Structure 1
Amino acid sequence: MRNRTSRLLMLAVSLLLATVGALVTQTPANAANLLVNPDFETGTLSPWSCAGGLGSVVSSPVRSGTKALAGAASASDTAQCSQSVTVRPSTAYTLTAWVRGNYVYLGVNGGGSTWTSSATAYTRLTVPFTTAANQTTAVIYLHGWYGQGAYYADDMSFDGPGASPSPTPT
């Protein structure tokens, strides 16, 4: 009887661990691209905002689809384009963009950033980012550099679980 009880207890613990493991491994599957118009295929910048009117949607060069973002950095402006995204506090996200041009920067305000000095073909940039304990908004940005001319971006993503669901009224 004692041996049978031990086996049943071991089976119950194994099932519990398997269930917890399955729940943990399902979390990444819930990740979604939180950017709106991440590939610029709508043909407009909205909801992206580009400083000084120096951003536009172009048909060439594109990485995929038929549209991409073009920023026209000048001697006095980096042509920064940005989008605000709702996020969950204390949560990991990954920002990715395919960029082309000289000195193209990608980042999250208050978080990390990365850049490439020269990309004659589309190059992937990635920024891992974890929100602060009370953070509910993140501003995603990309820009060129002063006097470096045009930069391009396509196929962007900001992957993560999104905003906390609204509580159900009772």
Structure 2
Amino acid sequence: MSMRLSALAASVALLTGLTVPAASAGAPPAGGPSTRTAPSAQTTQATPATQAAPITPATQTAQTAQSVNLATNPGFEAPSPDLADWGSIPGWTCTGGPAEATVTATAPHTGASALTVTPANADSTGECAQTVAVRPGTTYTASAWVRGDFVHLGATGTGKDVAPAWAETTGGGWQRLSTRFTTGPNAHSVRLYVHGWYQQGPFSVDDVRVDGPAPAPAVAAGSVPTDDKVVFFTVDDGWQRTPEAERFIADHRLPITAFPLPMPAAADPAFFQRVTAVPGSSVQDHSVSHADLSKLPLEQQQVEICDARDAMTRLFGTAPTFFRPPFFAWNADTLQAAANCGIRTVLTADADFSWGASNIWHPGLLQPGDVVLMHWTDTLAADLQRALAAADAAGLKPAGLVDYLR
């Protein structure tokens, strides 16, 4: 109980410490629950939007770009990708997992489905959240339609403290919450969240929006522009993890850029931590299901890329900044979806040394900046040895992509 009261005190202090207009949800209906663990009715009379930071010339310039909805799976309609975690909600991370959060077809606000959260115990608010890539110095409006008691909508990581929008009760119907924030000069992503309150029962969410200019599309590349005598070894998928490959990487101190799928990465995260222990190594994004993204709409591509980003971040502590499209298949939507997930580069390759191959897709030997494709297979140790010999023949040394792509 003391933890809940501390959280309540912090929330009330934040809410009452800002002078803001009433939220677009309007005045909350009378007759909400009266408990010591919920915000008081007096507090909810001024449901906060947020204080917007002053608009600078740079902000005004950024806001001339077209405003779009940046939320991933905003209507909870996107199908779960193959190989996704059981019970996961595409685009969203819910603290209580499938025991609390489900997508239901029961009376959605629009479309065929909505999110319904039933907190599992008195210590849960049933929070669901996602990371949204944004531009610095730019104003965004977050909104959602909610149903239930003491439902909150807000964003953190904006570069400025912002209060959530919330409603004491929606009276059994749907009600729109909205909050507005301006990102700081160093903010490139924000954490959008929705949650209920302690001991206030189930709530539903639908038609989430984060409206504002999208990040610039990611850059497509097959090699790295550099005059340094370096080559880059990249290894995809992760289904076959052999001690021979691990030993070869360690013995030769090879910087490896790994692009595992979330399922094999989660099955053996310690392996990927070991094989990327050499400085310059990293773990990056390869989608959730290894689908041909060029055949999917932007919204589903965004789910594939963002959910894999979130999985890699949870497992390894660092958010990916490169994306390797499965089958090297991508289109303009892929570049924008990747950018919406905070990815800067969509990377293919210009050589393939997988499964015994030695294919260089340009004349002659490997060249400075070449990206070499391999896979986590039972042939990887031999593939690495062959790739290293090809690099030596060209007078090149393996280097880490994170040291060259910013």
- TM-score normalised by length of structure 2: 0.34
Distance in 1, matches of 2:79 and 2:202, equals 18
Q: Give the deviation of 1:162 after TM superposition.
A: 1.6
Q: How do 1:50-129 residues align onto structure 2 when only pairs under 5 Å count?
A: 50-53=94-97, 54-73=100-119, 74-110=121-157, 111-119=162-170, 120-129=172-181
Cα pair distance change 1:50/1:168, threshold 3 Å: closer
Which residue of structure 2 aligns with residue 36 of structure 1? 72
Cα pair distance change 1:88/1:145, threshold 3 Å: same
Q: Give the deviation of 1:27 after TM superposition.
A: 2.6
Distance in 2, matches of 1:113 and 1:43, equals 29
Ranges of 4+ aligned residues in structure 1 off by more than 6 Å: 167-170
Q: Alpha-carbon deviations, 1:5-42, whole Å to 9, x = none?
A: xxxxxxxxxxxxxxxxxxx8x936x1000011100012
Q: How do 1:128-147 residues align onto structure 2 when only pairs under 5 Å count?
A: 128-147=180-199
Distance in 2, matches of 1:52 and 1:63, equals 23
Cα pair distance change 1:58/1:43, threshold 3 Å: farther
Distance in 1, matches of 2:107 and 2:220, equals 46
- Residue 101 of structure 2 aligns with an amino acid whose one-letter code is G
In structure 2, which of residues 64, 70, 74 is the aligned counterpart of residue 27 of structure 1? 64
Q: Alpha-carbon deviations, 1:67-123, whole Å to 9, x = none?
A: 000111231100100010110001000001000001100000143311001011000
Distance in 2, matches of 1:83 and 1:151, equals 18
Number of residue equivalences: 145
Which residue of structure 2 aligns with residue 163 of structure 1? 215
Distance in 1, matches of 2:208 and 2:155, equals 13
> Percent identical across equivalent pairs?
39
**What's the Cα RMSD here?**
2.1
Q: Between Structure 1 and Structure 2, whose CA radius of gyration is higher?
A: 2
- Residue 88 of structure 1 aligns with an amino acid whose one-letter code is R
Q: Indicate the structure with greater strand content.
A: 1
Gaps of 5+ in 1: 1-23
- Residue 27 of structure 1 aligns with an amino acid whose one-letter code is T
Gaps of 5+ in 2: 1-60, 81-88, 226-406
Which residue of structure 2 aligns with residue 9 of structure 1? none
Asked if the contact 1:43–1:57 (Cα under 8 Å) also holds between the matched residues in 2, the reply is: no
